[in-house]
Structure 1
Amino acid sequence: MELRQLRYFVAIVDHGSLSRAARVLHVAQPALTQQLRQLEDELGAQLLHRSAQGVLTNDAGKIFYEHAQAILKQLGDARSAVIQSSARPGGAVALGIPQSVSGALALPLLTAVRAQYPDINLQLSEELSGNLIEQLKSGRINLAVLFDDDQLTPFTTTPLVEEQLMFITRSDSRFASKAASITLADALRVPLILPSLPHGVRPRIEKRVQASGLAIGQVIEINSIAILKSAILADLGATILPAAPVLAEIEHGSMRAQAITEPGITREVALCASKSIPLTTAAAAVERLVLEVTQDLCGSGRWLGARDLTQGI
C-alpha cells in the first residue's frame, strides 16, 4: 500500500467522482482507476459504490476513509513539525469544539489566532462530543474541547472552565419566572427541550436530578442546537443548558437565562490532546492560546456562567 493510494482514495471520496478527483490531482483518470483497483485488491474489499452520478463509500470504504484521513493528517503534522519555526509557527491545526461551547469560544479564538499566528490555518469543526473523542483518538484532529465526564483518560487534559447550567427560555416566555433564579424542582415542572441521551448535557442533568430525588417530566428531545433554539423561541418549552450556545440570543434580548438552585448543576470543560501523538509547534501554540482566550472571556464576563479553571496552569 502506497501513500499516494491513500491520497487518491481520499480525494475520490471528497469529490464524489473519479473524474473530478483526477482533475484536482492532475492524474489521468485511467491511472486513478487502476490505483483504486490495486488498493481494493490489496485490502480484499470493495470500497466504493460506483454509479452514473459518481461514487459513494460503502461500509468498508467509510472505515478505510477515516483511517486514511488520520494517516495523511499525521504525516502532514510530522512534516510541519520538522520544518516550522517555533518563533513563527505555521501550518494546519484541527480543533474540535462541541456545539454547546462554540458559541462562547470559537469566534474569539479564531480572531486571536489570526492576530497572533497569521501563518496558522486553524480548522475548527463543530461536532457532538462523542464524535470528537473518536476523531482525537484516531489523530484526525490535533485538539478537542471536551466535557470531563470521567471518560478522558486516553488524553492529556487541561481544565478550562466550570460551566453553570442555566434555565433558558424565550425572554417573554410563559414558562419563565420573574426571579433571577429558579429551583431545580420548579424547572422540572416546565416542559423541557433537551438533547437525547447520551448526548450533550443530558447525562449530567439526569444524574443530578436522580441524586436530588426528583424526576424529569415532559421532554422534547432535540440534538441540534439550531432546532433547539427555534423551539425555545417558539415557546414550546424551556431548556437546561450552559449559556454559551445562546449567548447571542441573550445579548439581543430574545432569550433569558436564569440560575438554577437547590441544587445547581455544573459541568467541567477541558482541552484535550492525544497522549500518543505529539503536538506540532503550531498545535502547541493554539493550545496555549485557548487558555489565554478562556482567561480573557471569563475575566470579562463574556463567557456567561463560566468559572475559569486555567489559573496557575
Structure 2
Amino acid sequence: MDTRQIRYFLAVVEHGGFGRAATALNVAQPTMSQSVKALERDLGTALFHRASHGVTLSAAGRAFLGPARVLIRDVAMAGEAAGGRPEQHSLEIVASAPLGAHPGARLVGGFLRERPGVSVTLDRDTDEALLARVRDGVSALGLVHLPAARLGLCEVELGAHDLVLVFPPPCGTRVPPPAAGVEAEAVRLADLAGVELIGVPRGSASRLLVESALRAAGVRTRVVVESGQRDLITDLVIAGVGAAFMPDVAAHEAAARGAVVMRVAPALRLPYGLVHRPGELSGTARAFIDHALRGR
C-alpha cells in the first residue's frame, strides 16, 4: 500500500462517497475507486460495503480507520521534521454535547479563518466513545469536560461552564423555595434531598462533580435514569422523568421547551478542554490547540 491509497480511503470516509471525495481532491472518480480497490487487495479485505445508494464502512474499514489516520498524521509530521513544507491536511475533532456547539463551533470557525486550506471534521459522540476515539487515533483531538477518564491522554484546559438544575415543565419535583440570603433564581443543594435525577454515566466529569457536591451538602438523591446522550437527557426532563444537572449553555433549549431552569448554590463549575494522545502532534493539531488557548 502507499499513502495515496490511504488518503483516498480517508477522503471517501470524510466526504461520504467516492464521487464527493474525488471532487474534493480534484481527481477522476475511476482513479480513486481503482486506488481504493488496490488497497483492499493489499489488505485482503473489503473496507466498504458498496450499494446503489452509496458506501458504508465495513467492520474491517472501521478497524482500519484509526490506524490510517495515525499513519497519515505521522507521515505529515515526519515531513515537517525533515524541513519539508507543512501540509494543509485535515483535522479530526470529536466533541461531547454541548461542547460541539459551545465552544466547538466558534473555535473551528476562527481556526478556519486563520487557515482556510485546512479541512476540519467536527463530530459528536458520548464521553466514553469520544475518549476511545482519541485514544485509538480515529480523532486527533477531543473536546470534553474535564477531568477525563484516565486513559493516558493529555489534557489542555480551555475554560469552564456553570452547571444549572433543570426541572420538568411544570416542576414535578418538590423543591423548597430558596431560603433567605439565597438568590431568588437559585436552589440550594442542601434542599435537594429525595429529588429524582437523570444522570450521565458514572465516572464522567459532571457526574463526579455533582456527586461530590451533594455529599458535601449531606444530601441523598436518586438517579432514576442514566444516559450518555446529553441531547436525550433534555427529552427525558421535558417528559417529566426527573430533574437534571446541565451545563448552562445546554439549558437554553430546555427552557425554550418549558423546563424550569435554576442556578444552584453553591455554584458548580465544570471545566472543559481538549484531549489528545501523548507524543508529537501534527502541525495542524498543534496550531488548533494554540488557537483555542488564545481564544480562552
TM-score, normalised by the number of residues in structure 2 = 0.71
Distance in 2 (alpha carbons) for counterparts of 1:94 and 1:108: 16
Deviation at 1:219, TM superposition (A): 1.5
Task: Give runs of aligned pairs for residues 291-310 of structure 1, distance below 5 A.
Answer: 291-294=293-296
- Say if 2:163 and 2:246, in contact at 8 Å, map to a contact too: yes
Deviation at 1:4, TM superposition (A): 4.8
Residue-by-residue CA offset, 1:209-268 (whole Å, 9 max, x unaligned): 445554332512233222222222334322112212234555x5844432223x654432
Amino acid at match of 2:3: L
Q: Does 1:184 align with 2:189?
A: yes
Distance in 1 (alpha carbons) for counterparts of 2:94 and 2:168: 29
Percent identity of equivalent pairs: 19
Task: Give runs of aligned pairs for residues 68-217 of structure 1, distance below 5 A.
Answer: 68-76=68-76, 82-84=84-86, 91-149=89-147, 151=149, 154-170=152-168, 172-175=170-173, 179-199=184-204, 201-210=206-215, 212-217=217-222
Distance in 1 (alpha carbons) for counterparts of 2:248 and 2:160: 12
Distance in 2 (alpha carbons) for counterparts of 1:109 and 1:49: 32
Deviation at 1:168, TM superposition (A): 1.5
Distance in 2 (alpha carbons) for counterparts of 1:106 and 1:188: 35
TM-score, normalised by the number of residues in structure 1 = 0.68
Q: Which stretches in structure 2 are left out of the alignment for 5+ residues?
A: 178-183
- SS of corresponding position for 1:112: helix
Task: Give runs of aligned pairs for residues 205-284 of structure 1, distance below 5 A.
Answer: 205-210=210-215, 212-250=217-255, 252=256, 254-261=258-265, 264-280=267-283, 282-284=284-286
Deviation at 1:158, TM superposition (A): 2.8
Amino acid at match of 2:58: T
Stretch moving more, 16-25 or 206-215: 16-25
Deviation at 1:276, TM superposition (A): 0.9
CA RMSD of aligned residues (A): 4.1
Deviation at 1:166, TM superposition (A): 1.8
Amino acid at match of 1:148: L
Counterpart for residue 42 of structure 2: 38
- Say if 1:80 and 1:91, in contact at 8 Å, map to a contact too: no
Q: What is the number of residues matched between the two proteins?
A: 281
Deviation at 1:102, TM superposition (A): 2.7
Counterpart for residue 66 of structure 1: 66
Stretch moving more, 176-185 or 120-129: 176-185
Distance in 2 (alpha carbons) for counterparts of 1:92 and 1:15: 12
Stretch moving more, 25-34 or 177-186: 25-34
